Amino acid sequence: MAAGVIALLGSGETAPGMVRVHRALLARHEAPRAVLLDSTYGFQENVAQMTAKLVAFFATSLHVDLEVASLPRYDAASALQRHRVRDQVARADFVFAGPGSPSYALAQWAPLGLADDLAGALARGATVCFASAAALTLGSHSAPIYEVYKAGADPTWLAGLDVLGRFGLPCAVIPHWDNAEGRDHDTSRCFLGERRLARLEEMLPADVAVLGIDEHTAVLCDLARDQVTTAGRGRAYWRRGGQVRELGPDPTPLGALRTGRRAPTPPPAPTPPAGATPADLGEAAARGDLAAVAELVRRASGTPSALAPELVEAVVRAREAARAAGDYPLADRLRAGLDAAGVEVRDGVGATQWSPRT
């Protein structure tokens, strides 16, 4: 598959109407590897509970095991933890992120380089499904909703990940477009209200649109078919230069929305940080992190005198754990990596022996 799908959910990521959307997106992939990014709500005290709720939703309603790519705080994570998140996204078929704070998520994802990883995943056919707060981060510009609505900050734009812009769709994504919780005051346009959004639109470059998405509505940008559709109870709205184009269930060519920006070439898969210690890499190898295993093998390769025993031992232990768990394909890959590094492995009763190949 040459290109994937960007799915933007206006809200209600676990609502019944959105379950059908998730199912259709997951059905694009055989035995999909689904990954959850938790950075959007990483500042909250209930991170573990939020993650558990989303994992349970995917398991119960969608029958999919959701793998957690955890990065609550970029500056508190080790180099290896940051690499692991990038590696999980690079190998995922379905990447999901949801509620929380767009400005907080951007503060974690921008220095991580997540935009490159998401664009690369899309280029090889993955699905990126971002809902609510996470959806705001994918545009070229992102509104700091909490700061404006809750703390009274002047309306302004933050730099977004611009993943949509890489595929020719520079825009600012505004979910919760038709929100009416305010009753006696305007909370539409993701709680900004039409007045404040109009001020923000005046600050945008001429080639940048606003993509408004009603609640319980999904915008599906199918990059392979080069079209956009909506699903759910509402509509979406592409606003630029005073013109509004309504998007609905019938396909709209992406060419009708594009401004000519070039689509990206997929970046290489992330490599483990050079400063990662053997112990860190060994721990990652034991979890089945193949990129860390590759780094272990790389460091252990060369002449027999250059072999680092603690690194080889880490790979051997990871292989034993994979065999014990019945993951024989992983165990075979680990053994093949050791063989490529010039390590001879002998399986014995109760223990695995190894030695440099002479």
Summarize pLDDT for 319-331 with one digit per residue, the tens.
887 788 777 877 8
At 4 the three-state DSSP class reads coil
Q: Higher-confidence residue: 344 or 302?
A: 344
Task: Give residue 302's pLDDT.
Answer: 47
Mean pLDDT, the chain, rounded, equals 87
Residue 270 domain-assigned (yes or no): no
Let me know whether 64 and 198 are in one domain.
yes
> Would you call 6 helix, strand, or coil by DSSP?
strand
- How large is the average pLDDT for residues 7-25? 92
Is-contact 314 307, C-beta < 8 A? Answer: no
**Same domain for 284 and 252?**
no
Highest mean pLDDT range out of 78-92, 97-111, 264-278?
Answer: 97-111
Q: What percent of the chain has pLDDT over 90?
A: 65
* Dist. CA 196–CA 241, nearest whole Å: 17
Of 51, 62, 140, 56, residue with least CA distance to 99: 51
Which residue, of 256, 287, 302, is where some domain finishes?
256
Question: Are the CB atoms for 171 and 210 separated by under 8 Å?
Answer: yes
Residue 261 in domain: no
One domain for residues 35 and 108: yes
Does residue 265 fall inside a structural domain? Answer: no
- Please tell me whether residue 295 adopts helix, strand or coil conformation: helix
pTM of the model: 0.77
Closest Cα partner for 94 from 1, 168, 178? 1
Q: Are residues 235 and 290 in the same domain?
A: no
- pLDDT digit string, tens, across residues 251-307: 999 999 997 555 444 455 555 555 566 666 666 665 556 556 666 555 554 444 445
Take residue 176 and report the two structure tokens written for it: 């919760």
Any domain includes 271? no
Picking from 238, 173, 118, the residue whose alpha carbon sits closest to that of residue 8 is 173
- 42: in domain: yes
Quote the DSSP letter at residue 308.
Answer: -
The tens digit of pLDDT for each residue in 29-71 reads: 999 999 999 999 999 999 999 999 999 999 999 999 999 999 9
Q: Are residues 163 and 220 in the same domain?
A: yes
Q: 63: Cβ–Cβ under 8 A, 6 or more apart, which residues?
A: none
Rounded mean pLDDT, 312-320: 79
273 found inside a domain: no
Helix ranges restricted to H, 7-132: 16-26, 47-61, 79-90, 102-112, 114-123
Mean pLDDT score, 174-195: 96
pLDDT of amino acid 305: 40
Point out the domain boundary residue: 198, 222, 256: 256
Verify that 178 and 230 share a domain, yes or no. yes
Average pLDDT over residues 230-249: 96
The verdict on 186 and 93 lying in the same domain is: yes
Chain centroid, CA 253 distance in Å: 25
Same domain, 201 and 334: no
Q: Which of 20-34, 178-192, 267-281 has the lowest mean pLDDT?
A: 267-281
Which position has the token pair 């039409």?
A: 194
Residue at 266 is within a domain: no
Structural domain containing residue 347: 278-356
* Same domain (yes/no): 63, 169: yes
* Residue 262 domain flag: no
Q: Does one domain contain both 177 and 110? A: yes
On whether both 178 and 136 belong to a single domain, the answer is yes
Q: 93: burial class by Cβ within 10 Å (0-12, 13-18, 19+)? A: buried
User: What pLDDT score does 319 carry?
Assistant: 81
In one-letter notation, the amino acid at residue 338 is L
Query: How many domains does one find in the chain?
Result: 2
Average pLDDT of the residues in 220-244: 96
Q: Strand, helix or coil at 190?
A: coil
Q: What's residue 56's pLDDT? A: 96
Does residue 325 share a domain with residue 222?
A: no
